[in-house]
Amino acid sequence: MKERSLIFFDIDGTLLNHKKQLPASTKEAIFKLKEIGHEVAIATGRAPFMFEDLREELGIGTYVSYNGQYVVLNGEEVFTNPLNEEALLQLTETALANNHPIVYMDHEDMKANVPEHEFITESIATLKIKSFPTYDPKYYEGRKLFQSLLFVQEGEEVQYEEEFKDFDFVRWHPVSVDVLPSGGSKAKGIEKLVEKFGIPEERVYAFGDGLNDLEMLTTIHNSVAMGNGVDEVKDVAKYVTKSVEEDGILHGLKMVGLL
């Protein structure tokens, strides 16, 4: 048997194609990795409740969610990095004054601070998930939130970046940005799991395609960008595989010698 490695996969544009479908070759490759004895994990900007079906289908119980803010090892929470509640309240007040809605997110649910808004409907619909944020403007009170969504058009987030240094703002949709704790990233969450597994960095791999994968692919020893990934990701990755539509995961795993 080959030495055990730890492989992290992003979801959207990496495991799932643009139609949010899991290619058959990807599923087979994941099961082959596990059969060989490797550890397989997910590293995503999604909330845990947004990929339960995928975890079940692939038999994966270890994941980095919310871009590193909520980390689970074999079904057990091992690391959390919540948003600063006071700063989030200030952000909410500014956003409301600018007619920019917010969605608050913990590990179980998400709630919007407005009853409805076209930007929320438009962006969440692209995820093709079962859940949808319902209205609860006080959801941030007395609970740990690991991410929020701020609904602004491209360029409008600049004023928030300048004013709210407790947060990082990462665009994931033309009308929405992720709001994360400053310095929080998939890479930080992955670091916690690598420590738990005790696997040396030269046997850690990561696959991704988007801007929220930049730090992960910059810091992970064996980084693989998807062929459909953005140029910034391809520039920092050690390897570039084919697109998700062209069996990119299977091709990439063979390229790096895991399969």
- DSSP states of 144-179: ---EEEE---TTTTHHHHHH-TTEEEEEEETTEEEE
Q: How many structural domains does the chain have?
A: 2
pLDDT band at 131 (very low <50, low <70, confident <90, very high): confident
Residues 49-94 have pLDDT tens digits of 999 999 999 999 999 999 999 999 999 999 999 999 999 999 999 9
Bridge-based pairing state of the strands 222-225 and 239-240:
parallel
Q: Quick one: 130 and 199 in the same domain?
A: no
- Domain-located, residue 129: yes
State whether 114 and 144 are in the same domain: yes
Predicted structure pTM score? 0.90
Same domain, 96 and 165: yes
Same domain, 148 and 164: yes
Q: Do residues 69 and 62 lie in contact, with contact meaning Cβ atoms separated by under 8 Å? A: no
Strands 70-73 and 110-112: unpaired
- Whichever domain contains 161, its CATH number is 3.30.1240.10
DSSP strands (E only) in the chain: 6-9, 39-43, 63-65, 70-73, 76-80, 102-105, 110-112, 134-135, 147-150, 167-173, 176-181, 204-208, 222-225, 239-240
- End residue of a domain, out of 136, 163, 181: 181
Q: Give the pLDDT confidence of 159-213 residue by residue, as tens digits.
A: 999 999 999 998 889 999 999 999 988 999 999 999 999 999 999 999 999 988 9
Domain enclosing residue 127, as ranges: 85-181
Catalytic residue ranges: 10
Going by the DSSP 8-state scheme, the letter that residue 16 receives in this structure is: B
Structure tokens at 53: 């079906």
Q: Which residues pair with 40 in a beta bridge?
A: 7
Per-residue model confidence as pLDDT tens digits over 85-103: 999 999 999 999 999 999 9
